[in-house]
């Protein structure tokens, strides 16, 4: 998982808070100290960290004062602190601006810029695959004539991913190639045309001039800067230098897998008010994660990303049209049983990159994902064991069958069925409860997206 170490520390600090019996200044101070230390270690700028500390303190104080004014109403102090921390962590990575979103039915030209080695060519192919999977016809244009082998690299990646591409071994003018490529694909009515540009020149000024010239020729709907996470907070300076010369509308931060400094890069970019649209999380074509501040922090703290998970399921369903029909129908009707959740879990197991996907499931703390694939795999397997121990009617239910109610109809806990399932699967009642909560969340998403517009159009809106 991205920034697993940072996530584990933040999660650990918040856990300390949950365990404390009284929430006083000492507890809040200790929490903030640990949070700040973790952020600094991830190379987040000192000023930003100190601002976060002050803002959390002010927010907590204000909430408590307001509660007191409102008649000394009892407030849950833990919730107040947790919410303030969550909101400020989101603010830390939120640039507060919306990026351009490719629109179906028109030609969207995206141009990638960035220093050589940042991962531009790899990211361009990942992007093309991302949009292709969502029903956009996408293609690639190689306008890097400076680096020998650039076209070969793009060609190789594109061929592997079955994405149409354009480039030239003989033409040396990048502006001419970019124009010809974009023109050709525009005529062929492609939805997304991605132009890869050069990342190095003899002189830096020449590189910037070339970017501007290509930009004027192809008129991109969005210019994307590709930036390597390992530079940490220096990302701010680098993106400013690019912005001064070639304005860009969005950033993709790459190599977040295994780079402890990633937190620094993400927060530094956010400080420049440019939206980060994706994170690169590995060398493979699938290693691209959409970036949205709130789900990102939610995942980091082990609170999951249900929307991301549903989106992922939809991707898998698209890759397998038979299943898509089935799943789409069920979701459209707002139906989602434990059996459906089980099927999704086994699909996930067959997809690889378990730790990444598992981090989207609520209740999977970042610390647990530190163990990587193996640990995520064993956790998912235990979830399947739980469903294996269920009877047919239980699998087909929405999970309420496992809940006991008091005389007035209020839920009071899990019933004997849940205990039987825990015993039968060699797991704990708590794990059974977690699975039930997850299945209910998925059902909730299905209901929300069902109804008039239907699930598919809801998914399209999310693109
Ligand atoms: P370019 O010069 O900017 O076009 O960079 P390339 O696309 O050639 O990438 C440079 C190196 O970084 C290659 O070895 C890529 O496989 C690697 N790379 C790109 N993105 C990622 C990423 O998100 N994670 C990791 N670990 N490696 C990446």
Coil vs helix vs strand at 278: strand
Whole-number pLDDT of residue 105? 85
Cβ–ligand 1 contact at 125 (below 6 Å): no
Are β-strands 288-290 and 276-280 bridged in parallel, bridged antiparallel, or unpaired?
antiparallel
Largest CA distance in the chain: 81
CA-126 nearest atom, ligand 1: 20
Distance CA 18, CA 24 (A): 13
Residue 90: CB atoms within 10 Å: 17
Query: Who wins on pLDDT, 33 or 445?
Result: 33
- Determine the distance separating the centroid of ligand 1 and the alpha carbon of 281, expressed in angstroms: 10
Whole-number pLDDT of residue 290? 87
pLDDT tens digits, one per residue of 51-78:
999 999 998 888 878 777 776 555 677 8
**367, pLDDT greater than 90:** no
Cβ–ligand 1 contact at 304 (below 6 Å): no
Name the average pLDDT for the chain: 83
Whole-number pLDDT of residue 273? 84
Distance CA 207, CA 245 (A): 10
Cβ–ligand 1 contact at 118 (below 6 Å): yes
**400, pLDDT greater than 60:** yes
pLDDT tens digits, one per residue of 279-315:
998 888 888 988 988 888 887 887 777 677 777 766 6
10 within 8 A of 300, measured Cβ to Cβ: yes
349 within 8 A of 384, measured Cβ to Cβ: yes
Distance CA 310, CA 314 (A): 6
- Which of 81-85, 115-119, 454-458 comes out lowest in average pLDDT? 454-458
> Which is nearest to 4 in space by CA: 361, 359, 379, 268?
359
Coil vs helix vs strand at 125: helix
Coil vs helix vs strand at 32: helix
Q: What is the DSSP letter of 409?
A: S
Question: Is 272 buried (19+), middle (13-18) or exposed (0-12) by CB count in 10 A?
Answer: middle
Distance CA 413, CA 319 (A): 39
Instruction: Tell me how far CA of residue 136 lies from CA of 105, 140, 190, 318, in angstroms.
Output: 9, 13, 8, 13
Distance CA 133, CA 394 (A): 34
**261, pLDDT greater than 60:** yes
Distance CA 304, CA 302 (A): 6
Query: Who wins on pLDDT, 355 or 395?
Result: 395
11 within 8 A of 365, measured Cβ to Cβ: yes
> What percentage of the chain carries pLDDT values higher than 90?
31
**450, pLDDT greater than 60:** no
Whole-number pLDDT of residue 202? 66
| Confidence category of residue 6, pLDDT binned at 50, 70, 90 | confident
Whole-number pLDDT of residue 210? 87
Q: What is the DSSP letter of 177?
A: H
| Confidence category of residue 364, pLDDT binned at 50, 70, 90 | low
Distance CA 288, CA 292 (A): 13
Q: Could you say which architecture CATH assigns to the domain 306-462?
A: Orthogonal Bundle (1.10)
Cβ–ligand 1 contact at 356 (below 6 Å): no
Cβ–ligand 1 contact at 255 (below 6 Å): yes
Return the CATH number of the domain spanning residue range 4-93: 1.20.120.140
Cβ–ligand 1 contact at 122 (below 6 Å): yes
DSSP 297-326: HHHHTT---HHHHHHHHHHHHHHSHHHHHH
What are the start-end ranges of the H helices in 4-106? 4-19, 25-41, 46-69, 77-93
Distance CA 206, CA 291 (A): 32
The overall pTM is greater than 0.80: no
- Radius of gyration of the CA atoms of the chain, in A: 24
Whole-number pLDDT of residue 247? 76
Domain boundaries, the chain: 4-93, 108-296, 306-462
- Determine the distance separating the centroid of ligand 1 and the alpha carbon of 421, expressed in angstroms: 46
Distance CA 121, CA 362 (A): 33
pLDDT tens digits, one per residue of 26-50:
888 889 999 999 898 888 889 899 9
CATH 3.30.70.270 fits 108-296, yes or no: no
Whole-number pLDDT of residue 251? 93
Strands (E), 130-239: 138-143, 165-166, 192-197, 222-228
Interhelix angle 416-425/429-449, nearest 10 degrees: 110
> What percentage of the chain carries pLDDT values higher than 70?
84
Cβ–ligand 1 contact at 262 (below 6 Å): no
CA-226 nearest atom, ligand 1: 3
**454, pLDDT greater than 50:** no
């Amino acid at each position: 998982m991205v920034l697993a170490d940072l996530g584990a520390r933040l999660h650990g600090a918040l856990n300390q808070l949950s365990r404390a019996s009284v929430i006083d200044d000492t507890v809040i101070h200790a929490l903030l100290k640990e949070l700040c230390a973790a952020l600094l270690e991830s190379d987040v700028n000192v000023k930003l960290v100190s601002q976060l500390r002050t803002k959390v303190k002010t927010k907590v104080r204000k909430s408590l004062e307001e509660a007191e004014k409102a008649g000394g109403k009892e407030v849950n102090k833990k919730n107040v602190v947790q919410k303030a921390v969550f909101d400020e962590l989101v603010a830390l990575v939120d640039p507060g601006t919306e990026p351009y979103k490719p629109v179906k039915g028109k030609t969207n030209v995206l141009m990638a810029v960035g220093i050589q080695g940042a991962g531009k060519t790899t990211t361009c192919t990942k992007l093309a695959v991302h949009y292709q999977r969502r029903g956009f016809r996408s293609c690639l244009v190689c306008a890097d004539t400076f680096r020998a082998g650039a076209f070969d690299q793009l060609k190789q990646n594109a061929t592997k991913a079955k994405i149409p591409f354009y480039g030239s071994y003989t033409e040396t003018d990048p502006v001419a190639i970019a124009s010809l490529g974009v023109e050709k694909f525009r005529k062929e009515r492609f939805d997304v045309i991605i132009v890869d540009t050069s990342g190095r020149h003899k002189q830096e000024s020449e590189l910037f001039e070339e970017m501007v010239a290509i930009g004027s020729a192809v008129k991109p709907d969005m210019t994307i800067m590709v930036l390597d996470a390992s530079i940490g907070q220096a990302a701010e300076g680098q993106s400013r230098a690019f912005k001064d010369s070639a304005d860009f509308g969005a950033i993709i931060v790459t190599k977040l897998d295994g780079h402890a400094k990633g937190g620094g890069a993400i927060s530094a970019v956010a400080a420049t008010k440019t939206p980060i649209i994706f994170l690169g999380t590995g060398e493979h074509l699938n290693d691209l994660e959409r970036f949205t501040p709130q789900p990102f922090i939610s995942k980091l703290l082990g609170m999951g990303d249900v929307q991301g998970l549903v989106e992922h399921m939809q991707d898998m369903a698209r890759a397998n049209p038979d299943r898509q029909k089935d799943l789409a129908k069920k979701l459209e009707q707002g139906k989602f049983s434990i059996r459906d959740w089980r099927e999704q879990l086994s699909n996930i197991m067959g997809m690889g990159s378990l730790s990444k996907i598992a981090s989207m499931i609520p209740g999977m703390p970042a610390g647990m994902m530190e163990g990587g694939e193996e640990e995520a795999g064993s956790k998912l397997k235990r979830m399947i064991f739980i469903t294996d121990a269920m009877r047919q009617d239980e699998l087909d239910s929405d999970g309420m069958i496992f809940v006991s109610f008091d005389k007035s109809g209020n839920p009071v806990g899990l019933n004997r069925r849940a205990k039987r399932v825990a015993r039968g699967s060699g797991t704990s009642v708590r794990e059974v409860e977690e699975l039930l909560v997850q299945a209910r969340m998925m059902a909730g998403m299905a209901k929300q997206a069902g109804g008039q517009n239907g699930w598919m159009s809801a998914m399209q809106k999310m693109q």
